[in-house]
Chains A and B, each alone.
Chain A
Amino acid sequence: MYIYDQYDQRIVDERVAQFRDQTRRYLAGELSDAEFLPLRLQNGLYVQRLAPMLRIAVPYGLLSSTQVRKLAHITRHYDKGYAHVSTRQNIQLNWPLLEEVPDILAELAGVQMHAIQTSGNCIRNTTTDQFAGVAADEREDPRPWCEIIRQWSTLHPEFAFLPRKFKIAVCASEEDRAAIHAHDIGVELLPNAAGELGFKVLVGGGLGRTPVIGSVICEWLEKRHLLTYLEAILRVYNQHGRRDNKYKARIKILVKAMGIDAFRDAVEAEWALLKDGPSTLTENEITRAQSFFTSPPYAALDGRSSQEALAARAATDPIFGNWLARNTRAHRVPGYRAVTISLKATGIAPGDVTDRQLELLADLADRYSFGELRTTHQQNMVLADVEEAALYELWQHLQKAGLATANIGYITDLICCPGGDYCSLANAKSIPVAEAIQARFEDLDYLYDLGPVELNISGCMNACGHHHIGHIGILGVDKKGAEFYQVSLGGSQSKDAAIGKILGPSFSQEAVPDVVENLLGTFVSLREGEETFLQTYNRVGIEPFKERVYAKAD
């Protein structure tokens, strides 16, 4: 993974000193609430319903065991002993004290971490595939490019007061596991006709109040032009994005208003000033960034024999077999698998992890996965490089700690924002809805029979729970002061990206599990062969689901 040099460290240390000074001035009355607001937001600090919320950056989801231990220490010492994995692969603390945030940031800086630009109207954490570097369908490791974007966007002087937040995602594989169509900018590493890898650039995707799938602004961009091209897009947006209405301020609204062709022309005109200038990437820099993401020292293993042993073990221990089939996936290196650790046990807020679990995971990472862990935008964690021969032992450790729920990709592995229990923006609670759905689908045989279903819950329009791109999306809405839930169907976050369609009138919280059960019952009755929920939906459309769900409502 990327290791700071003296420059990176100095920048992060100076940021801590700056925020310590800002906090002091705020508490002394020298900075007003209005002035402190964007300053604290750009350091990840929200003021929430119950306490401040601090969002810690996990650049493209990669963590060392040392960093995970530090996070465990921070949650125990400064918070209530647990942390939350967000849909931007970041880590959130729900109960820090404002006065102690500078100390937390100093602790983080000690392990090469920070909270820079994890909120506010600026460029946020760049996200990518949680299986980067180990996926078999990868064209090139996306993480050096994420790191190059991270450095360029960190404390960028021109883009700290944008019209609205700005999110970038990078995909480098056949399957899109980074939801690049739902980002302000999505870049995909792709070969041109000559076979040379470059970037396809999408712009103007996003969720929120007006969900939009990104448009192609550039079919293929030479790698060295990445930063100047991004800078040109941001400069057009910063100058022309709407600032009169925060709901119309994202770049997707500007791209729609101008049309993609006129927007492209404006970007090309800006790019002419920047192209081939000093921000053009050098071979040296690309090589330097790539040098941090080389393969760990994999053992030369006989994949076939370890798989036979696993199959035998799975046959005698079906609970392990379930976990093996659902929570591990193929690795590009024979004899290894990537393991997803489910943070979706029923009864625990989705994405929450305790200090002790974090410490255990750090130990397991050291023992089984070259000391690295990853966070995922589905709010789980990953040990990416585990020898197949060690899987049974690893599973036993995970099971004891409540971290072996075998549900990855199934309906109980749902994405869920913190919602009205914590967030002051939310219209409605989301965690109790998630829990009720998980409780309804506890029967694993039924769960597996349903096949992969992505269910995403957001407590408000801001769509932190990505409800628009869930196969089933649930959105908390406010109806005359009461909490209701709107359901949508058919969203997708992969390359066939789609925004879900609203089913109809919204439901009370108690009704949601029945509604979900009815939706899945409809699917089961209409399913042909081994169709997935999304395939059946795409074949039959929304009507049969609507009829069944609203049939008894009158």
Chain B
Amino acid sequence: MPKLIKNDTVSSDSWQRALPDGDQLFKDHFPTLAQWQAATETLPTVQLQPGDEVATLVEALDTLAIIAVDFPVFTDGRGFSYARELRQRGYRGELRATGEFMPDQVHYLRRCGFDAFQPADASRLEEYLRQLRVFSEHYQASIDEPLPLFRRRDSESQPA
């Protein structure tokens, strides 16, 4: 079974990246947004590609157990914003990064709301794990730290 990082440990499940081939569904592969939209039943998983509209999923967020966001190349950062948007719009299920992202990006991916990481090259998973927490402090609000540093500084300087 394909390996991935989930809950900060190496695990595995049967899901693989989508096969973008018409409306047809493939066993063990995430449906593309087009396949998901064409399906007659409500599918519990979907994979977004760069260029897909996050807004398409807004009505269905409660029915989805896994949303995969694919990175065909690591330099295309659209998926970072997709993750932030999905979380901000209330998505609580698994958010999985798939594809060609590199270990040095998982820290930012996590901060944007991803909680599962399935890189195309599964041979370096230990390196991905190691890179999850290279920073212990951040300026901005993010999904894993909803308060920006300035608000945490504020509360520190005021008596509790």
Interface residues of A (CB under 8 A from B): 5, 7, 10-11, 14-15, 17-18, 21-22, 30-31, 35, 38-39, 121, 151-152, 154-162, 227, 235, 238-239, 243, 273-274, 277-279, 281-282, 284-285, 288
Contacts and interface: CB of A to CB of B under 8 A. Distances in A.
A35 B74 contact: yes
Nearest to B110: A157
A15 B82 CA distance: 26
B147 A278 contact: yes
A281 B77 contact: no
A278 B81 contact: no
B29 interface: no
Sort A-B residue pairs by CB-CB distance and give the 7 closest, nearest first. Answer: A161-B77, A157-B111, A157-B108, A285-B150, A151-B139, A284-B154, A238-B81
A88 to B, nearest CB: 20
Interface in B109-136: 109, 111-112, 127, 134-136
Given A22-B104, A160-B108, A238-B80, A282 B154 contact: yes
Contact of A279 (B135, B148, B154): B148
A204 B104 CA distance: 30
29 contacts: A5-B153, A7-B149, A10-B136, A10-B137, A11-B138, A14-B135, A14-B137, A22-B104, A35-B74, A121-B77, A154-B139, A155-B139, A156-B139, A157-B138, A159-B77, A160-B105, A161-B74, A235-B84, A238-B77, A243-B78, A279-B140, A281-B150, A282-B151, A282-B154, A284-B153, A284-B157, A285-B150, A285-B154, A288-B153
B146 interface: yes
Contacts of A156: 139-140
Contacts of A235: 81, 84-85
A39 B104 contact: yes
Interface of B: 50, 54, 74-78, 80-82, 84-85, 88-89, 102, 104-105, 107-109, 111-112, 127, 134-142, 146-151, 153-154, 157
A244 to B, nearest CB: 10
A239 B76 contact: no
A152 B139 CA distance: 6
A281 B146 CA distance: 14
Contacts of B84: 158, 235
A453 B73 CA distance: 46
A18 B80 contact: no
A155 B77 contact: no
Given A30-B127, A239-B81, A285-B154, 9 more contacts: A11-B135, A31-B102, A31-B104, A38-B74, A158-B84, A160-B105, A161-B74, A161-B76, A273-B85
A151 B142 CA distance: 14
A11 B151 contact: no
B150 A151 contact: yes
Nearest to A9: B137
Contacts of A158: 77, 80-81, 84, 108, 112, 142
Nearest to B135: A14
B153 A7 contact: yes
A519 B84 CA distance: 54
Contacts of B140: 152, 156-157, 279
B150 A282 contact: yes
